[in-house]
């Protein structure tokens, strides 16, 4: 039994390190995908002191990351298959910018409401504009919203 345990301890498990007796998963974000992540390393607390459990979890996490990175790489514009597609040029948006829509909204709704109503709307719109820019309202993406949400949750902690 001692020999089996020593094999587990001496066998290197990729992307795993041990700190204070607990295992962590640690993997660097590839150099071609940093714009998709907030940091250059992905470190995950594996919640185990077992080398075997850490190995199983790390293999699973590494596989999930490899699959996600492959998907991200294939979705990028430099995909070799995309050069066979027609170049789709889009018309510029005729939708008003976010700041203009905020002004229209406040003109319609803020009449008899307290000043805090307008202040909250101004603050919310300025947060989005600072992160994603003052775009036409149909130009915002889910990624813009997720970035805004991620920054707000980081500020709260």
Q: Is the predicted pLDDT of residue 33 greater than 60, yes or no?
A: yes
Q: Is the predicted pLDDT of residue 82 greater than 70, yes or no?
A: no
With beta carbons less than 8 A apart as the criterion, state whether 128 and 102 touch: no
Q: How confident is the model at residue 3 (pLDDT cuts 50, 70, 90)?
A: very low
Residue 148 burial (10 A CB sphere; 0-12, 13-18, 19+): middle
Give the number of other CB atoms < 10 A from CB of residue 34. 12
Residues 99-112 pLDDT 10s: 999 999 999 988 88
Residues 39-59 pLDDT 10s: 899 999 999 999 999 999 999
Q: Is the predicted pLDDT of residue 65 greater than 60, yes or no?
A: yes
pTM of the model: 0.45
Percentage of residues in the chain having pLDDT higher than 70: 76
Residue spans per domain, the chain: 2-78, 93-156
pLDDT at 8: 47
């Amino acid at each position: 039994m001692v020999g089996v345990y020593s094999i587990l301890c001496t066998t290197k498990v990729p992307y795993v390190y041990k700190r204070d007796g607990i295992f962590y998963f640690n993997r660097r974000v590839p150099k071609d995908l940093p714009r998709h992540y907030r940091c250059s390393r992905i470190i995950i607390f594996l919640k185990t002191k077992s080398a075997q459990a850490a190995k199983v979890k790390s293999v699973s996490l590494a596989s999930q990351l490899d699959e996600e990175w492959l998907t991200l790489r294939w979705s990028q514009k430099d995909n070799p298959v995309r050069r066979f597609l027609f170049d789709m040029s889009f018309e510029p948006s005729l939708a008003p910018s976010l700041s203009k829509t905020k002004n229209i909204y406040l003109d319609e709704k803020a009449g008899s409401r307290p000043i805090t109503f307008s202040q909250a709307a101004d603050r919310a719109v300025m947060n989005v504009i600072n992160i994603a820019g003052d775009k036409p309202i149909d130009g915002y993406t889910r990624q813009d919203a997720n970035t805004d949400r991620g920054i707000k949750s980081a500020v709260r902690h």
